[in-house]
Structure formats: structure tokens, C-alpha cells
Chains A and B, each alone.
Chain A
Amino acid sequence: MQLLTISGSPHVHGDQSVKKIMWGVVVALIPAMLVSFWYFGLGALLSICVAVATCITVEYLVAKFILKQEPSISDGSAIITGILLAFNVPSNLPWWELVIGSVFAIAVVKMSFGGLGKNPFNPALAGRVFMLISFPVDMTSWPLPVQNRMVIVDALTGPTALGTLSEGIKNGETVSQLASKLPDYTHLMMGNIGGSLGEVSAIALLIGGIYMIWRKIISWHIPVSYLLTVFLFTGLLWLINPERYIDPVFHLLAGGLILGAVFMATDMVTSPMTTKGMLIFGLGCGLLTVLIRVWGSYPEGVSFAILIMNAVTPLLNKYIKPVRFGEKVKA
């Protein structure tokens, strides 16, 4: 007989593992990925491949040669970062820009803090913001869907729905005047609009989100409180002045809100640990998103909102404690 093993209890382990969680997220991203292939064709495919390949390579090299730890590519976290990064850029972005963004996301935002689990900011979002600041023109000219299926660069481009809105309001147009220029809800749901390649289809993203909640990869707290906050806040504005502020459903469906709420804000590493903290996190994300969208100079505010709340997360973890058992004594 071989030697007996001694360890402290528990002697059994649940069936969750980092690998399963990360690959679960990858699976949840598939519907949105397929939609992006459908609308943006080769460009989308190429972007995703470039970003994922760069992320994996950089993570491997940094882990092996700089951190001198065993590279853990198979946990799938670099793949998620790669996909999400690609999801956040226009499909016709020059590939070398995407490579630079990916290197920044993994090497600077993730690995310089010590790798998986230690980064305070969401690598994909930080990478995206880095690219947005470095290549503002390329990052804000979106190819139109369907027309550009077989083209990679130099395609027909147009603004996003939010861009059109923000531009129009700035020029003094009212919402009803702009209505004809904006895509209708069906297009927003299905994704037949201009935008970053992964953010266009609300339906595909929500399917992924429901899958993740069902598999218990994420909890409902962050996405629900985030989306609800945006809905209520923009709804309030809309009730005050429907000519200046567009209706809340448009805000929910347009731009990267659902992608952000479902896949970015819920990133375990950079979101709070307690349910109460998660609700506050979602609330903060929602408020900041609307503030930036409605009054900021950028038409879209999801990335900035989540990154700012990422910075607040350690505070939330420090001050928002779970309700301890036996703390509230019932009489």
C-alpha cells in the first residue's frame, strides 16, 4: 500500500476550478463573437486572433523570463483578455495597434502587478483606454456592418449610435430631429449597427451573461445594479426633458454598456468581494457611465466608469463587510 496522505479538512473539493471559470467565460463570449463574424467578417476574426495570440505570448514570456514563475496559460485568463480587448475595438483597427494594446494590457496592467488575481484594473479595459488615447482616430472610426464582411482595412466607416447622438446634441439638434439618423431597437438588439466588434449585439451578450449566471461563474449583482442604475438615471433625465435626453432603453442597448456590465464589470479580480460591495460597484459604474455619456466629451463612458470603479474596489472591500452571522440579533 502506498503512503497515506495527511491534510487538514475538508477532504473533498467542489467541482469549480479557475480553468473551468475562465473557459466558461470564453464559452459565454462565443455568441457575441459569432455575431461579430457575421457583421464584420474577416476583420473581426483577424482582430480576435491577433489580440488573443499577443496576450498569450506576452503572458507566457513575462511569466517565464521576468517573473520567473511557471507560466499558466492554460487557465484561459489571457484568452479572455484577448477576446475582450478585440471586442472593444473597431474591426478595421490596424493589427499593430491591437498588438500594442494587448502588450500594454497584459504586460503593464496585469503582469506587472504579479499576474492573475493581483491586477487592480481590468486589463482589457485599460488596454482599450490606452489605445483610445494613443490612436484616437483609428479607435473612433467604426466600419459599417455587413458591407465590410470581406474587407479588412480602408472600409466604409461611420459613427456609432452614441456618437451620432452626442454629436447631434452638441450641434443643438433635439432628440426627435436625430431620431431618423439613429438605429432602431431591433438593430440595436441584433447588432446591425456600427461599433466596436463585440459590443453591437445586445441579445448575444445577454445570452452569454445568462449562461454565466446559470453556471454560477458570476453573480447577478453587478450587471443588474449597473444596468438598472443606467436605466433609472437616464429614465429620470428623459422624463425631465425628452428632447434633450434620449430614452433609457436606447442607453441600455447602445454602445458598450451591456458588454461592460456583463463581461467587464463582473471581472472577478477587479470587482468587490461582498454582495453589498458589488451592488455599490454596479451603482457607481452606472452613475459614472451616464455622467460621461450625457455631459462628458466622450460619447461613451463605460470603460472609464468601470476603470474608475476598479480603483474604488479596494476601498469597498475594506469598508463593506458581509453581514456576519449573529450580528443582527432577532428578538
Chain B
Amino acid sequence: MNQAVLFAVITLGVIGIASAAILFIVAQKFKVIEDPRIDEVADALPGANCGGCGYAGCRNFAEKIVSAGSLENLNCPVGGSNVMKQVAAIMGLVAEEKDPMVAVLRCNGSFAHAPKKVVYDGALNCQFANALYTGESGCPNGCLGLGDCVDSCAFDAMYIDEATGLPVIIEDKCTSCGACVKACPRHIIELRKKGPKSKRIFVCCVNTEKGAVARKNCEVACIGCGKCVKVCNFEAITMENNLAYINFEKCTLCRKCVEECPTNAIHELNFKPRAPKHPADKQEEVVA
């Protein structure tokens, strides 16, 4: 009896000591000395792993910040300046103030504006459709409406509007991570400055065809007429390849170009409705 107890104790004891020794040796051998700040920085980051910073996930980004020792060219668009301030505090650095950005869809080729010329039947994938043909409206630059951007959005900030066939960006949810910008094979989505009270003015078209050709496919296309360039007092608008582009750094949101555009291709967002030109319109609005 005693012998059995003794035997069990010894065996278990030996096994236990041996295991502990192995564990200890392995732990020593594979020990990784890590800067504790990496964990701190990673904890401060949003943890969405969206890749908006250009690195493979938040932890990878944190490692990069710690190893670089500075915040130059490193920014978490999702967290914005608050998060970057926290990170800077951990690192003992000062965060650069960055303007908040937001994704903007630069195509207004809805079913109504750019009617279908053909019907697409195939894989619901913009990249494939882009390689296959120009799109249902015939516009070679316009939105294909198959939702690669929606699929890429990790924040549920996009959906396809059934009525227009175009994606919609929910401003409040958009973190400007830029995933949709990369996902769009036609480079329609751009990150733009969110602007004061989210007011923005932009050319809602990326078509580079000649005016008449572009107009044939879509009635709200930028036809490259150059009127906006002339009317702008701040040199914020440039014209390249029959397409106007508004530089958001220079734009003062004066809205002159919006009024000037003959095809309504320039959009204003989040402005108060204009004072109506005719008193009659005002009446109606009050009624409504």
C-alpha cells in the first residue's frame, strides 16, 4: 500500500518537474522582449483592423509607431485626432492636427440620370464587370453599382440605394479609412476634407470623355466646359481630360461654381437651402 502511494507520488512528481523544466527552457528560448508601449498604443487604437492606416491591422500599426519613434506620415483615420493625441501622449510626442476626412462618391449616374442601355447578368463584382464592359449606362468611368465598396466597408457606412443604383455613404459612420477608395476599380470614391459643419462642394463625376459623348450616356456628367474654372475666384478648380476637379484645400465653399454648372455636376452637401429666387417657391416650401 505504502509502496503504491510512494510510487504514485514519485512518478507524478518526476513528471511534474520534467514538464516544468521543459516549460522553463522553452519559455526562455522563445522569449520575445517586446516594447510595452506597443500594447499601450494598440489598446488606444480603435481595434477595427480596417487597414486604413496602410498597415495590416491595428497591432501592426502600433508596432510601426513604436519602432519609428515619430508620428510622421502615420495616422489612424478611423480614430481621428483624439486617438492620435492619446497615442502621442503614450509615445511622448505631439500629434499633428489633421482635418477629419470623409469618403465622397463622385458619380451621380443614377438610373434616372444615366438610363440603362444594356442589362448586366453576371458575377456581382465591380472589378470583374469593369474588365468586361463599360457598364449598364455606357459610361466608361461611372459607377457600376455592384457594391465592391459596400463589401469593403468594415463600418457598415455604405449601402446601395435601390432607387438610384448608386452606393450611399453614411457620413456619421464613415471613418475615412479609405477601404472603399481602394476597392473601387474606377476610382470614383475620394477622401475629401469633411469641411466645416460637413459642408462640402465637389464635382460629382469622373468621366473624362468629351462633353457630347459623356452627355449622351449621362445627363449630369461633367462635360468639361470650364465655366466653373472661370467663375472660381480662388483657383480651386482645375480642368484635366475634360473633367473639372475642385481642390478641397483651396475651396472656400462660396458655391458660385454650383450655380454655374450647366449639367448640375457640381454638388453641394449640408448647406442650408438657398434663398429661393421667386417668392412663389418660398410659399410652397412653407406649405410643405
Contacts and interface: CB of A to CB of B under 8 A. Distances in A.
In-complex A–B contact (CB below 8 Å) = yes
Interface of A: 3-8
Contacts, number: 26
Interface in B116-168: 116-123, 128, 132-133, 136
A3 to B, nearest CB: 5
Contacts of A8: 122-123, 128, 132
A4 B134 CA distance: 14
A5 B118 contact: yes
Contact of B132 (A3, A4, A5, A6): A6
B227 to A, nearest CB: 34
A107 to B, nearest CB: 30
Shortest beta-carbon contacts, A-B, top 5: A7-B122, A7-B121, A6-B118, A4-B118, A3-B119
Contacts of B119: 3-6
Contacts of A5: 118-121
A3 B119 CA distance: 6
Q: State the main secondary structure of chain B at its contact with A.
A: loop
Nearest to A4: B118
A8 B128 CA distance: 9
A1 to B, nearest CB: 12
A276 B116 CA distance: 48
Interface residues of B, number: 12
A3 B121 CA distance: 12
Given A8-B128, A8-B132, A3 B117 contact: yes
25 contacts: A3-B116, A3-B117, A3-B118, A3-B119, A4-B118, A4-B119, A5-B118, A5-B119, A5-B120, A5-B121, A6-B118, A6-B120, A6-B121, A6-B122, A6-B132, A6-B133, A6-B136, A7-B120, A7-B121, A7-B122, A7-B132, A8-B122, A8-B123, A8-B128, A8-B132
A284 to B, nearest CB: 36
Contacts of A3: 116-119
A8 B136 CA distance: 14
Contacts of B133: 6
Nearest to B136: A6
Given A3-B116, A5-B121, A6-B118, 16 more contacts: A3-B118, A5-B118, A5-B119, A5-B120, A6-B119, A6-B120, A6-B121, A6-B122, A6-B132, A6-B133, A6-B136, A7-B121, A7-B122, A7-B132, A8-B128, A8-B132
B125 to A, nearest CB: 11
Nearest to A11: B121
Interface string B97-118: 0000000000000000000111
A8 B117 CA distance: 17
B3 to A, nearest CB: 37
A48 to B, nearest CB: 40
Nearest to B116: A3
Contacts of B121: 5-7
A5 B136 CA distance: 9
Nearest to B133: A6
A66 to B, nearest CB: 22
Contacts of A7: 120-122, 132
A67 to B, nearest CB: 20
Contacts of B132: 6-8
A6 B132 CA distance: 9
Contacts of B123: 8
A282 B241 CA distance: 64
Nearest to B131: A8
A3 B120 CA distance: 10
B286 to A, nearest CB: 43
A5 B117 CA distance: 9
- Residue among A4, A5, A6, A8 with the highest chain B CB neighbour number at 10 A: A6
A4 B119 CA distance: 6
B131 to A, nearest CB: 9
A188 B144 CA distance: 63
Contacts of B116: 3
Interface string B177-189: 0000000000000
Nearest to B120: A6
A310 B18 CA distance: 40
B185 to A, nearest CB: 15
Nearest to B135: A6
A5 B121 CA distance: 7
B179 to A, nearest CB: 26
A4 B118 CA distance: 5
Contacts of B117: 3
A262 to B, nearest CB: 36
A6 B133 CA distance: 8
Interface string B255-273: 0000000000000000000
A9 to B, nearest CB: 10
Nearest to B123: A8
Contacts of B122: 6-8
A132 B116 CA distance: 59
Contacts of B120: 5-7
A4 to B, nearest CB: 5
A90 B259 CA distance: 81
Contacts of A4: 118-119
- Residue among B121, B123, B128 with the highest chain A CB neighbour number at 10 A: B121
